[in-house]
Amino acid sequence: MDNSTVNLIYLFLKKNNININSNELELQLISDPSFPSLNSITGVLDHFSISHGALRIPKTIDNITQLPNYSLIHIKVKDYEGLGLFFKDKHGYQILYNGHKHFFILDTILNIWTGIVIILDHSEQHLNYSKKKSYKKTFIYLLFTLLSVYFIYDSNLFQITHYLLTIIGVAVSILIIQYELGEQSFILDKLCSDENKSSNCNAVMNSSGARLLNSLKLSDVGLIYFMSILLNWLLLKFNSFNINYTSIILLTTLAIPFTFYSIFYQYKVVKHWCPLCLSVVLVLWLQFVSVFFNVDNWKLFHLDLKGSLVTITCFCLVFTLWRLIKVLLDERTKLRYSRLRHFKLNRNYKVFKSLVSENRIVNTLINDCNEIVLGNKSENALLNIVVITNPTCGACKEAHRLIDLLLKRNDNRIKILIRFAVNVEIKNIGADMSLKLLEIFDNLGEANFLKAFEEIYTLSYKKWMKKWGKNIDHKYFDILLKEKEWCKNNNLNFTPVILVNGQLYPAELDRIDLVYFVDDIINELQ
């Protein structure tokens, strides 16, 4: 999985003040069969309705200097070919790729840049999908800060140092868990992306020596250890350190032999170093050194029942909670990869082509019928899409979203025809709204039609009719009658139905995924 590219796109959006869910971004990118191609990047921007431009412009110094800060540019260097995040700060011109920042002079950028650039249209951006997640993080950071301030107040040097190192240990342990679960993180990308002869996080973490039992890994032990110590310290602080903390000193000392095992195992057995694992080793050693900050730690060294019970209780509580949480995390990871496989299969053009070839070809032409046509209204469109819908059809909402996504491509090779399948023999809501939509398109134009079309699902029938009015022109009734007759003759008696150049869109695939096949279909026809 190309985590560095996913992180690059996420950072590109974040730096342009567009916040989206990182997991959803990863899913949409990785599930594209063409990932990490340029098409997959522009495709995911279309998916999130992010207005952008993917251009090839002349390679000149003037064009480079006029690029917006935090643009994506396509580069070719000795060990990398792909997208990089271009920006300028007080240090000069930089390009971020492969998880690292690289400084370049303009002449060098001119040599490695292919002329391809992706920029965003900031005038139309209003996405903020990850606000909830951001608030959650802020709350956690604030809570830890308040607890830390409370702990540090009126504590000695050893207690403060050991406590702060424990927090660092918790943070590193969480990063290790994230790495094992395949989560996205810029820190992980920085520490573990450079897998070479000496450094390889994956080789160390997935080795047999990184597992104590079938279901318990050293990464779990690390998190349980540091979280238990953290909880222990806080409980002691709440009790004004009236309980002996010798048990913490003992655990700190007993952890040292495991650091030797970790170093030996990485050096001699796996023959690779894991920066995250070495960070844990460093934290454990610094904690051990901090014990000597207070000579009374050794003079008063004795275990008491109360202090030992507090420590044991903390470990049991954290162990139990983590085992429950880990099961949920593992299930979530399995679900994520299942969704990934599902999307990869659904968005595979070969699968689409195979399925659509099995469907019958339908003559979509209705003579002398002034229907709703969007996009390229001429007869020379390469891709002709017919959407059969009904304003009262709840399942048609996805098909309407597909229309919106296709129109946002601004591709004059695409023609979209909207055909209504409603009962016109009796008075009903579907017929009333369809008649009015035909009238709006005919008299008020495409923009007003699209607005009314969207409000089908946002307004009640009464409010919609009050806003747009009722149709009184009988000619639109004749159009609906012809459309209904055409549906009946072609045995298309349900909605929504999508026809791609006269062939039924495969029922096995999600309708919304048609946007991923547009370029391939058109390329075959050209």
> Does 342 fall in a domain?
no
Whether residue 408 sits in one domain with residue 271 = no
Greater confidence (127 vs 426) lies with: 426
| Structural domain span for residue 23 | 1-120
Whether residue 310 sits in one domain with residue 167 = yes
How far apart are the C-alpha atoms of 254 and 259, rounded to whole Å?
10
> Does 385 fall in a domain?
yes
Tens digit of pLDDT for each residue in 297-327?
A: 655 566 777 878 888 999 999 999 999 998 8
Calculate the alpha carbon distances from 92 to 9, 95, 103, 109, 186 in Å: 22, 10, 7, 12, 22
Determine the longest span between alpha carbons in the chain, in angstroms.
101
Whether residue 295 sits in one domain with residue 322 = yes
Whether the full predicted model's pTM is greater than 0.85, yes or no, is no
Evaluate the CA torsion angle 394, 399, 403, 408 in order and state its sign: positive
Whether residue 192 sits in one domain with residue 229 = yes
> Does 347 fall in a domain?
no
List, as one string, the DSSP characters of 332-391. HHHHHHHHHHHHHHHT-HHHHHHHHHTSPB-----TT---EEEE--STT-SEEEEEEE-T
Whether residue 174 sits in one domain with residue 317 = yes
Whether residue 452 sits in one domain with residue 329 = no
Contact 387, 496 (CB under 8 A): yes
Whether residue 211 sits in one domain with residue 98 = no
Q: Which two tokens stand for residue 375?
A: 């996009």
> Does 351 fall in a domain?
no
How far apart are the C-alpha atoms of 140 and 156, rounded to whole Å?
25
The band of 126, judged by pLDDT with boundaries at 50, 70 and 90, is very low
The band of 337, judged by pLDDT with boundaries at 50, 70 and 90, is confident
Q: Which two tokens stand for residue 310?
A: 């507090």
Tens digit of pLDDT for each residue in 11-61?
A: 888 888 888 877 778 878 887 777 777 878 887 887 777 878 888 888 888
**Chain position carrying tokens 């057995």:** 269
Q: What is the CATH number of the domain that holds 277?
A: 1.20.1440.130
Is residue 443 packed enough to be buried (19+ CB in 10 Å), middle (13-18) or exposed (0-12)? exposed
pLDDT tops 80 at residue 130:
no
How far apart are the C-alpha atoms of 169 and 188, rounded to whole Å?
15
Calculate the alpha carbon distances from 336 to 31, 133, 182, 466, 523 in Å: 11, 18, 10, 44, 32
Whether residue 232 sits in one domain with residue 314 = yes
**Mean pLDDT for all residues in the chain:** 85
How far apart are the C-alpha atoms of 256 and 212, rounded to whole Å?
17
pLDDT tops 80 at residue 123:
no
Whether residue 252 sits in one domain with residue 217 = yes
H/E element holding 293?
none
Q: What is the mean pLDDT of residues 389-406?
A: 89
Q: Which amino acid is at 295?
A: V
pLDDT tops 90 at residue 102:
no
Q: What is the CATH number of the domain that holds 101?
A: 3.90.70.10
Calculate the alpha carbon distances from 105 to 95, 188, 422, 452, 508 in Å: 11, 28, 64, 52, 52
Q: What is the mean pLDDT of residues 69-97?
A: 87
Whether residue 238 sits in one domain with residue 143 = yes
**Chain position carrying tokens 């134009």:** 445
> Does 344 fall in a domain?
no
pLDDT, position 483: 93
pLDDT, position 297: 60
Highest mean pLDDT of the ranges 1-15, 42-56, 199-213, 404-418:
404-418
The residues facing 103 across adjacent strands are 94
H/E element holding 155?
none
How far apart are the C-alpha atoms of 142 and 36, rounded to whole Å?
37
Q: What is the mean pLDDT of residues 140-155?
A: 85
How far apart are the C-alpha atoms of 233 and 226, rounded to whole Å?
11
Q: Tell me which of 68, 90, 120 is where a domain ends.
A: 120
Number of structural domains in the chain: 3
Tens digit of pLDDT for each residue in 169-192?
A: 999 999 999 888 877 666 777 777
Strand 414-420 to 52-56 pairing: unpaired
How far apart are the C-alpha atoms of 14 and 36, rounded to whole Å?
19
**Chain position carrying tokens 């080793």:** 281
Quickly count: other Cβ atoms within 10 Å of residue 455's Cβ: 13
Provide φ and ψ at 199, rounded to 5°: -120, 125
Q: Tell me which of 54, 87, 120 is where a domain ends.
A: 120
Q: Which two tokens stand for residue 389?
A: 């819908």
pLDDT tops 80 at residue 209:
no
Q: What is the CATH number of the domain that holds 436?
A: 3.40.30.10
> For the stretch 359-392, what's the b/e string if a residue is b when 16 or more beta carbons lie within 10 angstroms of its beta carbon?
eeebebeeeeeeebbbbbeeeebbbbbbbbbbbb
Among 92, 247, 94, CA closest to 162: 247
> Does 343 fall in a domain?
no
Whether residue 302 sits in one domain with residue 275 = yes
> Does 240 fall in a domain?
yes
Tens digit of pLDDT for each residue in 258-276?
A: 999 889 988 888 888 888 8
pLDDT, position 246: 84
Whether residue 270 sits in one domain with residue 405 = no
> Does 292 fall in a domain?
yes
